[in-house]
Amino acid sequence: MVVAAPSPLVSVDRLSAWLAESDPPIVVDLRWYLGRPGEGHAAYLAGHIPGAIFLDLDDDLADPNGFGAPGRHPLPDPAAFAARMAAAGIGDGARVVGYDDVGGWVAARLWWMLDNLGFGRRGIDGESVAVLDGGIKAWIASGHALSTAVSVGPPAAATLTLAGPWTGVIDREDLKDRLGTLTLLDARAPERYRGEVEPIDPVAGHIPTAISAPYGANLDEAGLVKDVPGLLERYSNLGITPSSQSEVVVSCGSGTSATHHSLAMRAAGLPDPILYVGSYSDWSRSGEPVATGPDPGEPPASVEAQR
């Protein structure tokens, strides 16, 4: 019998049932808003899934001096990340479910980080770390209550064993040398890709050869991740199929919403893509050439000259 791979997504109904068990999962609220520090935690305090803890993208899932600098959300040292997660109560043998209110792209960052460092799985009944499909919006829409109760003091520190270093990642110099030889997806909003607006990075536009692939197109009208046929159609339209030979690199503004592609491709049964952690924030801060408009553009002349 062929057993399907565990899904990186958990439905509201499944999470609700898990929370009623004697050994419930650790639920993590990861709400975060670009350019609005502190608002994610404020939203958590105003109401969250009962029992959830809060982790912050800036403070808990990134390190300014980590892998991917000078991007806005470099990856922390794996050992430091493991220690931070253990201090939050995430330990060996636990199940972890992350959620946000923006379709899962912030929660996907925690999923990607734990999965990348080998956080153990629990067989075919879902992965040890997953993302709540539809996030807190789906939880509320299903009639489930929120809580404002917050534990007094931090949770008991756990023992967490993770591997290192980070794998399946690429830095700016390696990516630059390979532009035009791989499939590079840009998960940002189309207007940012085209260079019409840029709310935070120093130069508007996109990395030459990158294909516009906003993460929101991975979702259906209800805000849930599309089913497998829908995802396969979406990625096929981007030139990515189960038999594709080209490597796929995913990017965004700072290596966060790009992980939604990692999540969706895992859910669809496609090979895991490579993550450009620094993404456009690293690229644009480093003086590299950029492209504007709706087309991917050609590799920079300096890259072509080296071939």
Catalytic residue set: 252
Phi and psi based region of residue 205 (left: phi greater than 0; alpha: psi -120 to 50; beta: remaining): left
d(CA 265, CA 230): 11
Q: In whole angstroms, give the CA distance from residue 249 to residue 262.
A: 10
CA atoms of 207 and 248, how far apart (whole Å): 14
The CA distance from 72 to 29, in Å, is: 21
- Strand residues in the chain grouped as ranges (E): 9-10, 26-29, 53-54, 96-99, 129-132, 169-170, 183-186, 211-212, 248-251, 274-276
Q: Are 179 and 80 in contact (CB under 8 A)?
A: no
User: Can you tell me the distance from the alpha carbon of 121 to that of 137, in angstroms, rounded to the nearest whole number?
Assistant: 26
Q: Which amino acid is at 95?
A: R
| 41 neighbors 54 (Cβ within 8 angstroms) | yes
Residue recorded with tokens 């919403």: 257
Longest dimension (CA), the chain: 62
